[in-house]
């Protein structure tokens, strides 16, 4: 019941602030009393995940603070339950069927003076349950078009990159010892089956990232994954 009330007031707040809403990939970030509302209009029909991220820097250090459950809604929004402090930035991560994704530009909140919305949102936040977070893919190894695996490495011609791939349980699959191209695609057939895989990226012999990616079954879109990369049931 409290979840339904929370969703109602989120939608109510979005409606009240609809004059300021932008259409994705643009977003509106509004400070309402000591909370922040991130809102938008969604024109896309193939969205699979929408995650809200926060940072104290406009370019880096973003962490996911929550996700939108109904990603198909035209008008939508998210209230940050953490008390607002200056110099916070927000952006939205959006993934689509087939594995493609994008990030919106980051924004600092602007102040809204809608008094009645302030009281209602504040009261609902006190009662709201925790928000479920979802999987954020790597920017360097991720599932791309036709569910093949994309490798995107900056300055590949200047650094000695290597990648190790593993099964979900840690069993080694194969290693690419020298990568000289900044962008390449591995056919999903190299991974034998669909599912969750682990990888490690090394640059000049040093581990720089350890993460996961998911390959859907043939003909299937990317499913909803939890923060650890497992299927959401």
**pLDDT of 8-63, one tens digit each?**
444 444 444 444 567 888 998 988 878 888 999 998 888 999 999 999 888 888 88
Whole-angstrom distance, CA of residue 103 vs CA of residue 90 = 11
Q: What pLDDT shows up at residue 76?
A: 87
> Are 122 and 16 in the same domain?
yes
Domain termination site, one of 73, 104, 127: 127
> Are 99 and 196 in the same domain?
no
Q: What is the mean pLDDT of the chain?
A: 81
Residue written as tokens 């006190």? Answer: 126
Residue written as tokens 């599932």? Answer: 143
- Compute and round to an integer the Cα radius of gyration of the chain: 20
Is pLDDT above 50 for 7? no
Chain center to CA of 29: 17
> Are 102 and 179 in the same domain?
no
- The CATH number for 198's domain is 2.60.40
Q: Per the domain annotation, does 80 fall within a domain? A: yes
Domain count, the chain: 2
> Are 26 and 77 in the same domain?
yes
Q: Per the domain annotation, does 132 fall within a domain? A: no
Q: What pLDDT shows up at residue 4?
A: 40
Q: What pLDDT shows up at residue 123?
A: 53
Domain that holds residue 111: 2-127
Whole-angstrom distance, CA of residue 174 vs CA of residue 42 = 40
Structural contact between residues 13 and 20, judged by C-beta atoms closer than 8 angstroms: no
Q: What pLDDT shows up at residue 12?
A: 47
Is pLDDT above 90 for 167? yes
Give the H/E segment covering residue 190. Answer: none
Whole-angstrom distance, CA of residue 195 vs CA of residue 98 = 14
- Average pLDDT value for residue range 128-139: 69
Q: Which residues of 183-219 are buried (b: 16+ CB within 10 A; e: fewer)?
A: eeebebeebeeeebbbbbbbbeeeeeeebbbbbbeee
Q: What pLDDT shows up at residue 133?
A: 62
């Amino acid at each position: 019941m409290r979840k339904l009330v929370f969703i109602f007031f989120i939608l109510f707040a979005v409606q009240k602030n609809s004059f300021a809403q932008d259409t994705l990939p643009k977003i509106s970030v509004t400070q309402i009393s000591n909370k922040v509302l991130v809102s938008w209009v969604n024109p896309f029909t193939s969205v699979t995940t929408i995650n809200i991220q926060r940072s104290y820097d406009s370019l880096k250090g973003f962490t996911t603070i929550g996700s939108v459950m109904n990603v198909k809604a035209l008008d939508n929004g998210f209230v940050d339950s953490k008390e607002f402090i200056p110099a916070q930035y927000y952006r939205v991560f959006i993934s689509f069927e087939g594995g493609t994704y994008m990030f919106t530009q980051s924004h600092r909140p602007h102040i809204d003076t809608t008094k009645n919305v302030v009281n209602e949102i504040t009261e609902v936040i006190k009662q709201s349950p925790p928000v479920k977070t979802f999987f954020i893919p790597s920017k360097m190894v991720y599932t791309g078009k036709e569910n093949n695996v994309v490798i995107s490495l900056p300055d590949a011609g200047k650094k000695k990159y290597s990648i190790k791939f593993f099964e979900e349980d840690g069993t080694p699959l194969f290693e690419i010892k020298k990568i000289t191209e900044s962008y390449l695609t591995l056919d999903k057939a190299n991974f034998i089956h669909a599912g969750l895989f682990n990888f490690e990226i090394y640059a000049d012999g040093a581990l720089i990232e350890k993460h996961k990616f998911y390959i859907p079954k043939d003909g299937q879109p990317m499913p909803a994954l939890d923060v650890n990369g497992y299927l959401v049931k």
